[in-house]
């Protein structure tokens, strides 16, 4: 007597779409190095007529993944008599992300003890900051409150020169170093070029930011600062 193996029933459309959404979220989480991600996925009921049976294995393609609250996927039956049905998925993602441990003013460089990892819900995968070392030394464009999760678009190299700030113009040429007092006419971050007025001559030059309150002429024609 020979045993028989029952044919495996095809997966329902909702299950196929849910698995495709989970696979997409997993891929995005790995690409962004999310720590310990957790996904909650809800496939919304399709407002379409039931599709006919698909003689081949259907595939699922992502159509619109801009918002986790409204992911759109297409369930596709290939072949000349195939069809396509669109589905909407709502996803909630949480992971270990970088948060502020205390209030930090805008434009102040972040220190290691300003930051910690906590599990938070993520609404923007691309903006999640997952490693404290990626934020240390950066500054936030907005004031951070204790417990705020950092967003990548807030972070940048800190302002080392502010508009109206007194700065030192440092010129080096052929082993000669000359310093002069100046006034920054524009804010600048490390290695940015800003306009600076020489306080002695009144001349406005373009200067590269070297460090806090120190700039160097973008072009040095002689060992003097003019």
* Local structure of 29: helix, strand or coil: helix
Which pair of tokens denotes residue 118? 């906590």
Handedness of CA 106, 108, 110, 116 (dihedral sign): negative
Q: Measuring CA to CA, how many Å separate 189 from each of 129, 163, 198, 204?
A: 21, 12, 19, 19
Spatial distance between the Cα atoms of 223 and 226, rounded to a whole number of angstroms: 9
Mean local confidence (pLDDT), 65-89: 92
Residue 117 pLDDT more than 60?
Answer: yes
- Segments making up each domain of the chain, as ranges: 13-93, 94-156, 159-217
Distance of alpha carbon 118 from alpha carbon 193, whole angstroms:
38
If you average pLDDT over residues 99-126, what whole number do you get? 94
User: Could you give the CA distance from residue 159 to residue 189 in angstroms, rounded to a whole number?
Assistant: 5
| Architecture in CATH of 159-217 | Roll (2.30)
In this prediction, residues 170-194 reach a mean pLDDT of: 92
| CA dihedral (156, 158, 163, 167) positive or negative | negative
Q: Angle at the Cα of 217 (from 213 to 223), degrees rounded to 5?
A: 115
* pLDDT single digits (tens) 41-58: 999 987 766 677 888 889
Distance, in Å, from the CA atom of 162 to the CA atom of 62, rounded to the nearest integer, reads 46
Beta carbons within 10 angstroms of residue 110's beta carbon: 21
Q: Which two tokens stand for residue 16?
A: 């196929």
Assess whether pLDDT exceeds 70 at residue 208.
Answer: yes
Query: What DSSP element (H or E) covers 62?
Result: strand 59-64
Classified as helix, coil or strand, 105 is: coil
Q: Could you give the C-alpha distances from 162 to 73, 80, 203, in angstroms and in order?
A: 48, 65, 19
What CATH architecture is 94-156? Answer: Alpha-Beta Complex (3.90)
10: pLDDT confidence band, cut at 50, 70 and 90?
low
CA–CA distance, 131 with 137 (Å, rounded to integer): 13
Q: What is the mean pLDDT of residues 137-157?
A: 93
Q: What is the pairing mode between strands 71-77 and 83-100?
A: antiparallel
- Predicted confidence at residue 9, as pLDDT, reads 52
Q: How much is the mean pLDDT over the chain?
A: 89
């Amino acid at each position: 007597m020979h045993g028989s193996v029952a044919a495996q029933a095809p997966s329902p459309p909702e299950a196929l779409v849910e698995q495709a959404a989970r696979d997409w979220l997993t891929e995005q989480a790995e690409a962004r190095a999310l720590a310990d991600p957790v996904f909650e996925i809800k496939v919304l009921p399709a407002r379409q007529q039931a599709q006919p049976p698909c003689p081949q294995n259907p595939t699922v393609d992502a159509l619109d993944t801009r918002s986790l609250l409204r992911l759109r996927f297409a369930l596709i039956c290939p072949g000349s008599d195939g069809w396509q049905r669109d589905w909407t998925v709502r996803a909630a993602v949480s992971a270990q992300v970088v948060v502020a441990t205390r209030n930090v003013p805008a434009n102040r460089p972040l220190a290691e003890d300003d930051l910690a990892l906590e599990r938070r819900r993520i609404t923007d995968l691309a903006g999640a900051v997952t490693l404290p070392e990626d934020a240390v030394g950066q500054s936030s464009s907005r004031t951070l409150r204790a417990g705020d999760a950092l967003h990548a678009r807030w972070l940048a190299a800190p302002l080392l020169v502010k508009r109206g700030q007194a700065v030192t113009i440092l010129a080096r040429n052929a082993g000669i170093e000359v310093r002069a007092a100046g006034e920054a006419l524009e804010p600048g971050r490390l290695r940015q070029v800003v306009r600076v007025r020489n306080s002695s001559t009144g001349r406005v030059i373009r200067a590269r930011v070297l460090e806090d309150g120190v700039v160097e002429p973008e072009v040095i024609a002689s060992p003097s600062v003019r």
